[in-house]
């Protein structure tokens, strides 16, 4: 069994109001020096067998089809060690 991580983030040109809200709250909570915050999603997909190229290709298809809205989001796929 292998664990594959899919990280989904809004594309840089897309406004991120949740990230802006977090960035605005940090100074009020005593945190300084943060220029920007972008909020995203992380999916952990456990697959049977090895995380070979065929399995990773299948997870990429999952991400394109269901996990990410590719019009406004980018995603990365990686194997967790």
pLDDT tens per residue across span 9-22: 999 999 999 999 99
Query: Which residue in 58, 59, 63 sits closest to 4, CA to CA?
Result: 59
Contact 75, 7 (CB under 8 A): yes
Query: Distance between CA 79 and CA 52 in Å, rounded?
Result: 10
The pTM of the full predicted model, rounded to 2 decimals, is 0.89
pLDDT at 81 (0 to 100): 78
Q: Give the mean model confidence (pLDDT) for residues 48-76.
A: 97
The answer to whether residue 29 scores a pLDDT higher than 90 is yes
Q: Which residue has the tokens 């809004």?
A: 10
Band of residue 24 on the pLDDT scale cut at 50, 70, 90? very high
Contact, 63 vs 57, CB < 8 A? no
Instruction: Find out whether 9 and 67 touch, Cβ atoms under 8 Å.
Output: no
């Amino acid at each position: 069994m292998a664990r594959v991580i899919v990280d989904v983030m809004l594309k840089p040109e897309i406004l991120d109001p949740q990230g802006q809200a977090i960035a605005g709250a940090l100074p009020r909570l005593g945190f300084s020096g943060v220029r920007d915050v972008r909020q995203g999603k992380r999916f952990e997909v456990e697959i049977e067998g090895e995380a070979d190229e065929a399995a990773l290709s299948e997870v990429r298809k999952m991400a394109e089809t269901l996990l990410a809205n590719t019009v406004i989001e980018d995603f990365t796929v990686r194997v967790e060690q």
